[in-house]
Each structure stands twice: as C-alpha cells, then as structure tokens.
Amino acid sequence: MGLYATPERQQMMEDRAVEGFGRQSDLLCPFFDTKSLGCSVWQSRPGVCTTYFCKSDRGADGLDFWNDVENYLNHFEWVMANEVCRRLGVTDHQIEMIKAVMTTSDGDEERNYFLQESWGSWFNRKFDFYLEAHKISLYVQPQEIDSLLGEAALELEESLRQRS
C-alpha cells in the first residue's frame, strides 16, 4: 500500500545524499513535477515530500529544524494511516506483508505475492481502497487525532517551538 522507490534508487539516494541532496536535481523525487512545482501523484504532498530537497542557511540548527518538521509530519501521517487502516479492517498480517514488500529485493514473483497478501480483499480494488480511506480520514475528529498522536507529538511540537 503506497509508492516506494526501487531498491536501486534507494541505494543511489543513500550513496549520494550527503554531497548531492538539495543541490542536484536528479535527486528530486521522480514524481515531482518541475513545471507545476508539485507532486504528480498526490494533490497534497505528504510530509516527507514537503520537506524534501529543503536546504537551510542556518547550518546544523536549520537541518535539525527541518528534521523535526519531517519527523512531526511523518508521525502524524503514520498515526493517521494506521488509524484509517484499522477502521478499514487491515490486519496485522497485511501490515507485515507491506513491510516485506518494502524490503524485498528478490524477484517479481515474491514481490507479487507480498503485494497480493498486503492488499488482501482490496487487491485489484486499490482505487476503492484509497477512496474509502479518504472518506474515513475526513471523519476523524480533532480530539481523536490528539489522542492518537500521543506524547510523541507533544515532544516533537515542543522541539519545533524551541528551534523556531
């Protein structure tokens, strides 16, 4: 469930991130549309995307700030994704299969198995899954979100306040 870079691209990003990130356009997300300056996949770019390719002129302090922003947005998205999946009936087994899809470097046959297992009854109905997930996400109440985000979000918020 989701989009992931190929293992080759992940390795390239890892190898070149230090010297090239924020400086070389070939390290931009392959889904970034340079004409519209937006995502070609999502209407609202996820947290990792909105902080992607950010450089700061504040040195280590700026880097720490952007890392905290990314961590906060990732935490929020992860918590919401888990809650929506829970409400859609996604099982722990499916979650394990999603992890396997993300980490497998074996052949297409094994990857396809993990994909089918991770999608379960939603396999071949991915559009319906995302549509239903969107509907569910609209009805998660703010007080529920605060509860779901928990202490980790409060700590990240405090760190952001101190760095800004």
**According to the model, what pLDDT value does residue 88 have?**
93
Q: Say whether pTM exceeds 0.75.
A: no
Token pair recorded at residue 100: 């396997």
Q: What is the mean pLDDT of each run of 10 residues along the chain (164 residues)?
A: 67 74 70 78 69 60 78 88 91 85 75 88 91 92 91 89 82
Q: Are 160 and 72 in contact (CB under 8 A)?
A: yes
**According to the model, what pLDDT value does residue 78 have?**
87
**According to the model, what pLDDT value does residue 2 have?**
55
Three-state DSSP class for residue 155: helix
- 38-39 vs 32-33, strand pairing mode: antiparallel
Three-state DSSP class for residue 14: helix
Three-state DSSP class for residue 150: helix
**According to the model, what pLDDT value does residue 50 have?**
67
CA–CA separation, 58 and 65 (whole Å): 9
Q: How far is CA 22 from CA 13, 27, 29, 56, 123, in A?
A: 12, 8, 11, 9, 37
Q: Are 27 and 54 in contact (CB under 8 A)?
A: no
